[in-house]
C-alpha cells in the first residue's frame, strides 16, 4: 500500500556516507525525513542535528536499538566491521535497512544479516550504488535488449587512482585487512557485484592473483621522513600528503577527501592534521597491508567467463571500464559513454547516458541518489522490486569476494 507520509529514517553513523544519504531528506522533505541519529563523534553528530533537527539523538547505535521502533528505516553507515551487529539488531526491531557495503567482513556475518532481514520480513538494500547509476543501468538494459546477443565474456577494470589509493588504502580507513577488510571487499565488492549483475547467471569458480607491490618500507626513497611535512624529498613524490591536501585546501575544496582528515579547513588546521594524524604519513611508513593491484578470473554457469583488474596505479580521473563480448556484438563502456558494435551489419552506436548532476547526492555518478530514491520508494510503496541490491543478490556477490580472496591467498581455484 502506498503511503503519502515521508519515509522516516534513523542515521547510524553520521560520517561521510551517513551525512550524504541524509542529504536526500534535505533535498526531498516530502519523501524522506531524518527522525534520529546515532553518532559518537560530536562534530559529525552536531552537523547532522543542525541540518535535520532529529527528535532522537544517540551517541551509540545500541542506545537507539534498545528503544521501541522509532522510524520506518535505518541507514547503517558505520565502518565495515561494525555492520553486522546493528543490522541484526535493527532487523529484529522491524526496521527496513539500508546497509552500507560491504555487508560485513565475514561470510558468517553476511549470512547472519540475511537470515535476520528475511525472518523479520523487512526491506533491505546494500549500498551497491553502481547498480543505480544511469550509466550502468543503461549498460545493463542494452544487454537485456540483446545488443550483444548472448554474453560470453566480460572484462572489467577498476582504476582506483594513485592518490585515492594513498588516501584510503595506504594511510586511511581501509589500509589494513585486520582493521577493516581486504581491498577486494573494501573497494572492489562493487565491481564483483556489477560483474555478477551484468552476467545474470551464477558464478561457479574463481581464481585470483595480486599483491602489495609498491607501498612498502623497502620502496621508501632515500632521505624520506616519516611525515611528508618534514620530508626532504617530498617534492619528487607523487604521493606527497602535503601537495595533495594543501592543494585541496588552497582551492577551497572542503568536501571529500579533505573532510576525512579534518573538521576545520583553515591552512593551520590542515597542517595540524598532517602533522598529527594518519593522513600526513609517508606512504612507505604506514601500517598498511591491503593489495595495490589484483586480478580475478571467473567461471560462470554455462561456460561464460569474466575477468577483473583492480589497480592503484592509474591517473586520478580514470574511470571504470567494461567490455562485454557477446555472440552478436560487442559493447564498450569507458565510464562516460557506451559504444555498441553489431556484428551483422557493422553498425556502431555511441550512447551517452549522462544527465545533469542530480545535486546533493551526485556521488558515484548519481548512484547515491539512485539508491536512496529506490529504497525510499520501496518503503513508501511497500514494494521491494525497486531494490536492485537486496539480500540474495548482495550475499551472492559478497560470496564471490570471499572466494576470490581465498583463491588469491591460497593460490587455488575456489568453487562456489
Our finding on whether 60 is near ligand NAD (CB under 6 A) is yes
11 touches 21 (CB < 8 A): yes
**Looking up cell 572484462, which residue turns up?**
155
Nearest in space to 263 (alpha carbons), one of 281, 242, 250, 277? 277
What is the total count of residues that contact ligand NAD (CB under 6 A)? 25
Q: How far is the CB of 401 from ligand NAD (least distance, A)?
A: 13
Q: How far is the CB of 276 from ligand NAD (least distance, A)?
A: 18
| Pairing state between β 7-12 and 32-38 | parallel
CB nearer ligand NAD, residue 78 or residue 322 = 78
27 touches 271 (CB < 8 A): no
Our finding on whether 279 is near ligand NAD (CB under 6 A) is no
HSE-up of residue 256 (Cα within 13 Å, Cβ side): 13
- Burial readout 236-255 (b: 16 or more C-beta within 10 A, e: otherwise): ebebbbbebbbebbeeeeee
Q: Which of residues 313-372 bind ligand NAD (CB under 6 A)?
A: 364
Q: Which stretch binds ligand NAD (CB under 6 A): 71-79, 114-122, 324-332, 347-355?
A: 71-79
Our finding on whether 53 is near ligand NAD (CB under 6 A) is no
Q: Which of 33, 77, 208, 389 is the binder for ligand NAD (CB under 6 A)? A: 77
Cβ-Cβ contacts under 8 Å for 96 (sequence gap 6 or more)? 72, 73, 74, 122, 123, 124, 375, 378, 379
**Looking up cell 612507505, which residue turns up?**
284
Q: Which of 129, 270, 274, 290 is the binder for ligand NAD (CB under 6 A)? A: 129
198 touches 140 (CB < 8 A): yes
Bond prior to 240 in cis (omega within 30° of 0): no
Q: Which stretch binds ligand NAD (CB under 6 A): 38-46, 66-74, 208-216, 381-389?
A: 38-46
CB nearer ligand NAD, residue 16 or residue 106 = 16
Our finding on whether 255 is near ligand NAD (CB under 6 A) is no
Residue ranges with strand state E in 111-202:
124-126, 151-159
Q: How far is the CB of 79 from ligand NAD (least distance, A)?
A: 5
Alpha helices in 53-177 (DSSP H): 61-66, 84-92, 107-119, 134-144, 162-164
Q: Which of 5, 29, 41, 266 is the binder for ligand NAD (CB under 6 A)? A: 41
Q: How far is the CB of 209 from ligand NAD (least distance, A)?
A: 24
Q: Which of residues 17-36 bind ligand NAD (CB under 6 A)?
A: 17-18
Q: Which of 61, 162, 197, 279 is the binder for ligand NAD (CB under 6 A)? A: 61
Our finding on whether 127 is near ligand NAD (CB under 6 A) is yes
Q: How far is the CB of 179 from ligand NAD (least distance, A)?
A: 12
Number of residue whose CB is nearest ligand NAD: 15
Beta bridge partners of 159: 311
| Pairing state between β 124-126 and 96-99 | parallel
Our finding on whether 79 is near ligand NAD (CB under 6 A) is yes
Our finding on whether 401 is near ligand NAD (CB under 6 A) is no
Q: How far is the CB of 101 from ligand NAD (least distance, A)?
A: 5
Q: Which stretch binds ligand NAD (CB under 6 A): 37-45, 135-143, 203-211, 280-288?
A: 37-45
**Looking up cell 541540518, which residue turns up?**
51
By the criterion CB under 6 A, which residues form the site for ligand NAD? Answer: 12-18, 38-41, 44, 60-61, 77-80, 82, 100-101, 127, 129, 186, 364
Amino acid at each position: 500500500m502506498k503511503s503519502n507520509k515521508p519515509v522516516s529514517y534513523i542515521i547510524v553513523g553520521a560520517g561521510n556516507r551517513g551525512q550524504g544519504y541524509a542529504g536526500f531528506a534535505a533535498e526531498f522533505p516530502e519523501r524522506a525525513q531524518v527522525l534520529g541519529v546515532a553518532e559518537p563523534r560530536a562534530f559529525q553528530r552536531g552537523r547532522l542535528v543542525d541540518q535535520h533537527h532529529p527528535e532522537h539523538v544517540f551517541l551509540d547505535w545500541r542506545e537507539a536499538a534498545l528503544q521501541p521502533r522509532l522510524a520506518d528505516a535505518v541507514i547503517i553507515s558505520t565502518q565495515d566491521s561494525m555492520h553486522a551487529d546493528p543490522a541484526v539488531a535493527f532487523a529484529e526491531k522491524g526496521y527496513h535497512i539500508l546497509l552500507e557495503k560491504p555487508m560485513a567482513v565475514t561470510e558468517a556475518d553476511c549470512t547472519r544479516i540475511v537470515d535476520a532481514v528475511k525472518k523479520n520480513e523487512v526491506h533491505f538494500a546494500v549500498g551497491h550504488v553502481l547498480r543505480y547509476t544511469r550509466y550502468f543501468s543503461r549498460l545493463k538494459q542494452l544487454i537485456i535488449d540483446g545488443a550483444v546477443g548472448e554474453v560470453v565474456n566480460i572484462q572489467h577494470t577498476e582504476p582506483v587512482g594513485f592518490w585515492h589509493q594513498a588516501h584510503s588504502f595506504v594511510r586511511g580507513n581501509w589500509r589494513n585487512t585486520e582493521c577493516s577488510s581486504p581491498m577486494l571487499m573494501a573497494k572492489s565488492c562493487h565491481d564483483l557485484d556489477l560483474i555478477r549483475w551484468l552476467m545474470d547467471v551464477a558464478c561457479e569458480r574463481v581464481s585470483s592473483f595480486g599483491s602489495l607491490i609498491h607501498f612498502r618500507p623497502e620502496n621508501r626513497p632515500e632521505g624520506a621522513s616519516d611525515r611528508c611535512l618534514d620530508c626532504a624529498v617530498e617534492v619528487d613524490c607523487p604521493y606527497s600528503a602535503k601537495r595533495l591536501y594543501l592543494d585541496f585546501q588552497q582551492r577551497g575544496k572542503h568536501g571529500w577527501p579533505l573532510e576525512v582528515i579534518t573538521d576545520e579547513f583553515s591552512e593551520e588546521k590542515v597542517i595540524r592534521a598532517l602533522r598529527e594524524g594518519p593522513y600526513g604519513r609517508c606512504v612507505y611508513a604506514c601500517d598498511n597491508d591491503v593489495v595495490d593491484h589484483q586480478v580475478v578470473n571467473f567461471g560462470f554457469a554455462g561456460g561464460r567467463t569474466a575477468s577483473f583488474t583492480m589497480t592503484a596505479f592509474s591517473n586520478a580521473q580514470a574511470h571504470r571500464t567494461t567490455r562485454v563480448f557477446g555472440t552478436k556484438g560487442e559493447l564498450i563502456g569507458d565510464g562516460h559513454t557506451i559504444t555498441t558494435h553489431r556484428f551483422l551489419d557493422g553498425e556502431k552506436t555511441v550512447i551517452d547516458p549522462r544527465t545533469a548532476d542530480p545535486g546533493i547526492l551526485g556521488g558515484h555518478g548519481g548512484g547515491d541518489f539512485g539508491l536512496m530514491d529506490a529504497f525510499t520508494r520501496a518503503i513508501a510503496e511497500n514494494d521491494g522490486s525497486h531494490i536492485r541490491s537486496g539480500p540474495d543478490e548482495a550475499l551472492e556477490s559478497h560470496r564471490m569476494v570471499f572466494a576470490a580472496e581465498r583463491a588469491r591467498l591460497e593460490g587455488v581455484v575456489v568453487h562456489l
